[in-house]
Chain A
Amino acid sequence: MLRALIEKEWKSVLLSPKFAATFAVTAALILLSIAIGVGEYRAFEAQQAAGQRLLAEEHLEQTSWVGLSTRIFRGVDPLHIFAGGVHHDIGRLARISNQQAPLLQQSIYSDDSILAMFRSFDLSLVVQLVLSLFAILFTYDALSGEREAGTLRLMLSNAVPRSLVVLAKFLGTWLALAVPFTLPVLLGLLAIVLAGIPLDGGQWQRIALLLLASGLYFTVFMAFGIAVSALTRRSSTAFLVLLVSWVLLVLVIPRIGLLAAVYQVPVPTVAEIESQKAGFETRQREAYRRQLEATWIERQRQMAGLDEAGQEAYEDANLWRWLEEDEAARKRLETDLAQHAMRLDEDLRHRKAQQEQLAFSLSRLSPASAYRLVAMRIAGSGIELKERYETAARGYLEAFSRFVDEGSGGGGDMVIRRRGSGHRSSFMGTQEPLDLSDMPRFDAPRRDAATLVAALPDLGLLATQALACFAVGFVAFLRYDVR
């Protein structure tokens, strides 16, 4: 019986112009999103490769260890084709040098702001906006429409339990929407494989999980549509209620929830933190300079009583030790600066994490947010992407500093003037290019299974929302006045 009902439902949708239009639009949009995604993937890959090439050329010409710096680049990820998340918004490289904390900078949107004008377009957006809209379009008249047409009364005059009718309605329309979603997606995946974009086993799993999340998301909206249809008498009312709810759930609540949290938990701007760092640094360097001056005056004083030859002998005996002392003081200064900067950054990160947690829990009231968050998490393009790279960059900076220290043997440019015998200047480095072949390599941080586990609560939330909506619709229909 259920099968016959589903078949009837599915056929009636399949033959409607609604279905043809939905199919055409979703197919066009999904394929377009994948075409844009593949184009952006290739462009990003080329851009990062060009950056690395330039860096290598710069390093070939490098002749001094002083101020040696390098850059690390964010790697490409084919999953960003499906859910770009904040991939375009956060920096695509980080400068690694002893002078500053390694933060991601030069986002795609800030470098090529034309891309920011109309924003990007990916599968998760099509699902979030368009598929949910079509889910409503498919279900708003599922029950109230049949009542208006009089067919509901006719159907229930047969020996059909109401529970089966509503179940069949749900499953039939669900199938009718799943097809226009699944077919273009499969076609898109085929196109991606044919375009030669490498996907490994783990990435296929992620894609499957992303599709599951998308399925759950439009299931929520279908169940919601059926519920509203079972709670209203006229299909036009149902449609109005659904459209207004759609605007609120998909467009409004996610943004408001987020902003509420942002204003709730104040976080200082990077500019403020940078000023604090810069101020501390200037003060420390000033103190260091004075200290150095005092030390040298003191040293001069020690040999004030000696004659010229004695002074020279004394200097020759002690100069190396002095330089070492100075160098140690300089290193202490650098460590102090680095630690202070790290404390400030740590504090900033901590506050931001709090803000983000609040923001996301507020906006999760809407299934659209839950879906977007879970899609970004699965695709590895959520806000944790920035954190992941910056943590890796900090680790890399340590290795890089060690490498520079070993290579240069410490020290910097220096001019020593000596009484009588003129001056000796020793600028670090020669005119010969440095050998940087042993420079540590930066490996893009891998995502571990934990990030996927972290996606489970949101998937669970979506499933719960779908179930709850369906339960409401189910119960409401059992008590529905079919006249």
Chain B
Amino acid sequence: MFGLILGKELREILTTPRFAATFAVVSLLILLAFGLGARNFAHARAQHEAATAENLRQMEGLTDWLRVQPSISLPPQPLASLVTGISNDIGRDVTVMGLGTLRASHSRYGEDPVLAVFRFMDLEFIFQVVLSLFAILFAFDLICGEKERGTLRLALSNAVPRSTWILAKLCGAVAALTLPLLVPLALGGLLLVANGVPMTQADWLRLVLVVACGLLYVAATLGLSVLISTLTQRSSTSFLISLVVWVLLVLAIPRSSVLLAARSVEVPSVEENLSQLGRLRGQLWSEDRKALDAFFQENLQVSDSPIAAEAMVGRFNTFFQQLSEQRSQALEALEARLSEERVNRQAAQQDWSFTWARLSPAAAFSIAATRLAGTALDLPRHFIDQAKAYQQTFERFQKDKTGGRSAGGIQISVRIASTEGDAPPEEVAIDPRELPAFDYQPPPLPQVLRAAAFDLGLLAAFNLLFFSAAFVAFLRYDVR
């Protein structure tokens, strides 16, 4: 009996012009999202490679590794093209100095505001806005529509328990809406392969989870719409309520959570921290200046022999190296303290905001999808942490190349002009290809899964809630 009703329901949905039209549009959009994602990735990768190559090219002809300040940038990630998250909002480029604070600048939207005007059409957007709207379009008359047409009364006049009937109906609706989607989604995956987007196994797994999340979300919207349909008597009312609820869930609740978050916790501004750092730097520098002055008083009373001068330069370099290291340690300590404070408060702010936003399945989906794709709120921190690791690698490399010196933010050259000496010793050009490469690693899979688990569970709970509520409501439904 269950199978019979399920089959009938599937046939009924799949053969309507409504289904044909929406399925065509949705397939087109999904394919577009994958196609544009692949295109966007290729574009971003070309830009990234051009910038990296240019950076290396500009180092050619230099003779001293101390003068090199490599600029690294966040490489485009395949999944970030499909689930953009905040990846276009954060600074991407970091200039690495041997020592000192690193700051990422040049966000993609900030540099190319033309992209920010309409933003991207990514998979997350298709699921969150378009597919959920179509889910409503399918489910709003599932129950009350049958009542209006009179078929519900007819069906229940047979020896069918209500519970079996509604269960088959719900399963049919979910299957009819989600299973066909797998076709364009799979084709989209093929599009990625065909376009040569380098997806690792972990990337595929994460993409599959994003899609699973999306389908759970669409099913939750469907469940909600069926619930509304079992609570109303007329399909036009049901549609109106569903639409209003959709607007609230997709637009109003997530966006108003930001209002709440901004008011709940005070977060020290980036500027405040920068200014504190700047002040400490100024203070340290004025102390260093005195030390430098004293150093010159002591050490410049030497004879004119080039050997003594060389020795003086050596002493100066050691002395200056010490100064820079002390300075950078003090700065780093302050910076670590300030950034920890900021991060903690941001986390508190995020908790507030997400708690409210999660009332809406759309927000839960967003949070889970961006976390799976590695484009959620912890992306900037993750990136800077890796940049810091690179900074240390580079510092070691620099010391290695220059015999123990690394540049501490400022460089002072002591040049000895000599009348006796001939031309200064021949300087050898550096080979920029020796520069260690920056290899960005997305957060490891287990960490990603843990971060997304809560929202995945939440989406499942929404499904359970809406479908069981629809089930119960139907048992008491007035079919007349």
Indicate if B8 sits at the interface (CB-CB under 8 A): no
B417:A293 contact, CB within 8 angstroms:
yes
Complex Cα–Cα for A119 and B115 (A): 14
Residue among A18, A296, A417 making CB contact with B240, cutoff 8 Å: A18
Residues of A within 8 A of B92 (CB): 271
Identify whether the interface residues of A are mostly helix, strand, loop, or mixed: helix
* A43-B262 contact in complex given A240-B21, A278-B58, A282-B62, C-beta closer than 8 Å: yes
B54:A423 contact, CB within 8 angstroms:
no
Complex Cα–Cα for A29 and B246 (A): 13
Say how far A416's CB is from chain B's closest CB, in angstroms.
10
* A425-B110 contact in complex given A106-B270, A258-B118, A293-B417, C-beta closer than 8 Å: no
Residues of A within 8 A of B304 (CB): 419
Q: How many A-B residue pairs have CB under 8 A?
A: 285
Q: Which residues between 4 and 21 of chain A lie within 8 Å of chain B, taking CB atoms?
A: 17-18, 21
Say how far B117's CB is from chain A's closest CB, in angstroms.
6
B117:A91 contact, CB within 8 angstroms:
no
Indicate if B450 sits at the interface (CB-CB under 8 A): no
* A85-B117 contact in complex given A39-B262, A121-B251, A425-B293, C-beta closer than 8 Å: yes
Complex Cα–Cα for A394 and B36 (A): 36
Residues of A within 8 A of B282 (CB): 58, 61-62
A282:B113 contact, CB within 8 angstroms:
no
A254:B118 contact, CB within 8 angstroms:
yes
Residues of A within 8 A of B150 (CB): none
Residue among B107, B114, B115, B125 making CB contact with A109, cutoff 8 Å: B107
B259:A289 contact, CB within 8 angstroms:
no
Say how far A431's CB is from chain B's closest CB, in angstroms.
7
Q: Which residues between 122 and 153 of chain A lie within 8 Å of chain B, taking CB atoms?
A: 125, 129-130, 133, 137
Residues of B within 8 A of A236 (CB): 18
Residue among B22, B57, B296, B419 making CB contact with A301, cutoff 8 Å: B419
Produce 1/0 per residue, B254-285, CB < 8 A to A: 11111101110001011110010011001000
Residue from the set B18, B106, B118, B300 with the largest chain A CB neighbour count within 10 Å: B118
Complex Cα–Cα for A117 and B414 (A): 51
A50:B271 contact, CB within 8 angstroms:
yes
Say how far A29's CB is from chain B's closest CB, in angstroms.
6
Residues of B within 8 A of A91 (CB): 110
Complex Cα–Cα for A262 and B39 (A): 11
Q: How big is chain A's contact interface, by range? A: 35 or more
Q: Which residues between 235 and 287 of chain A lie within 8 Å of chain B, taking CB atoms?
A: 236-237, 240-241, 243-244, 247-248, 251-252, 254-256, 258-259, 262-263, 267-272, 274-276, 278-280, 282-283, 286
Q: Which residue of B lies closest to A427 (CB)?
A: B289
Produce 1/0 per residue, B105-128, CB < 8 A to A: 111011111111111110001000
Complex Cα–Cα for A116 and B367 (A): 12
Indicate if A422 sits at the interface (CB-CB under 8 A): yes
Indicate if A74 sits at the interface (CB-CB under 8 A): no
A118:B105 contact, CB within 8 angstroms:
no
Indicate if A467 sits at the interface (CB-CB under 8 A): no
Indicate if A415 sits at the interface (CB-CB under 8 A): yes
Stretch of A168-176, A196-204, A351-359 at the chain-chain interface: A351-359
Complex Cα–Cα for A283 and B307 (A): 29
Say how far A24's CB is from chain B's closest CB, in angstroms.
8
Residues of A within 8 A of B449 (CB): none
Residues of B within 8 A of A333 (CB): none
Say how far A202's CB is from chain B's closest CB, in angstroms.
24
Produce 1/0 per residue, B52-82, CB < 8 A to A: 0011011101110001010101000000000
Complex Cα–Cα for A105 and B54 (A): 22
* A54-B275 contact in complex given A21-B240, A248-B25, C-beta closer than 8 Å: yes
* A275-B111 contact in complex given A61-B279, A107-B89, A369-B118, C-beta closer than 8 Å: no
Indicate if A112 sits at the interface (CB-CB under 8 A): yes
Indicate if A297 sits at the interface (CB-CB under 8 A): yes
Produce 1/0 per residue, A403-419, CB < 8 A to B: 00000000000010101
Residues of A within 8 A of B114 (CB): 258, 262, 352, 355-356, 359, 383
Q: Which residue of A lies closest to B20 (CB)?
A: A240
* A383-B255 contact in complex given A47-B269, A118-B357, A296-B417, C-beta closer than 8 Å: no
Indicate if B361 sits at the interface (CB-CB under 8 A): no
* A36-B256 contact in complex given A90-B113, A283-B61, A356-B114, C-beta closer than 8 Å: yes
Q: Which residues between 407 and 466 of chain A lie within 8 Å of chain B, taking CB atoms?
A: 415, 417, 419, 422-423, 425, 427, 431
B293:A427 contact, CB within 8 angstroms:
yes
Residues of B within 8 A of A50 (CB): 269, 271-272
Indicate if B456 sits at the interface (CB-CB under 8 A): no
Residues of A within 8 A of B212 (CB): none
Residues of A within 8 A of B18 (CB): 236, 240
Complex Cα–Cα for A39 and B259 (A): 7
Indicate if A195 sits at the interface (CB-CB under 8 A): no
* A118-B262 contact in complex given A25-B244, A89-B107, A255-B120, C-beta closer than 8 Å: no
Indicate if B243 sits at the interface (CB-CB under 8 A): yes
Complex Cα–Cα for A93 and B105 (A): 13
B71:A271 contact, CB within 8 angstroms:
yes
Residue among B40, B89, B113, B118 making CB contact with A363, cutoff 8 Å: B118
Indicate if B380 sits at the interface (CB-CB under 8 A): yes
A258:B58 contact, CB within 8 angstroms:
no
Residues of B within 8 A of A70 (CB): none
Q: Which residue of B lies closest to A348 (CB)?
A: B111
B247:A29 contact, CB within 8 angstroms:
yes
Q: Which residue of B lies closest to A355 (CB)?
A: B114
Those 7 A-B pairs whose CB atoms lie nearest each other, nearest first: A279-B58, A271-B51, A89-B116, A121-B255, A109-B89, A86-B113, A118-B254
- Point out residues on B near A: beta carbons under 8 Å: 17-18, 21-22, 25, 29, 32, 36, 39-40, 43, 47-48, 50-51, 54-55, 57-59, 61-63, 67, 69, 71, 73, 85-86, 89-93, 105-107, 109-121, 125, 129-130, 133, 137, 236-237, 240-241, 243-244, 247-248, 251-252, 254-259, 261-263, 267, 269-272, 275, 278-279, 282, 286, 289, 293, 296-297, 300-301, 304, 346, 349-350, 353, 357, 363, 366-367, 370, 376-377, 379-380, 413, 415, 417-419, 424
Apart from A109-B107, A385-B113, 14 more pairs, CB < 8 Å: A17-B236, A35-B259, A89-B113, A107-B110, A109-B89, A118-B366, A247-B133, A255-B118, A256-B121, A271-B55, A272-B50, A297-B419, A352-B114, A417-B300
Sampled A-B contacts (22; CB under 8 Å): A24-B244, A47-B271, A58-B279, A86-B113, A90-B110, A105-B106, A112-B262, A114-B349, A114-B353, A116-B86, A118-B257, A120-B255, A258-B117, A259-B39, A259-B121, A268-B47, A271-B71, A276-B54, A282-B58, A293-B424, A372-B117, A376-B117
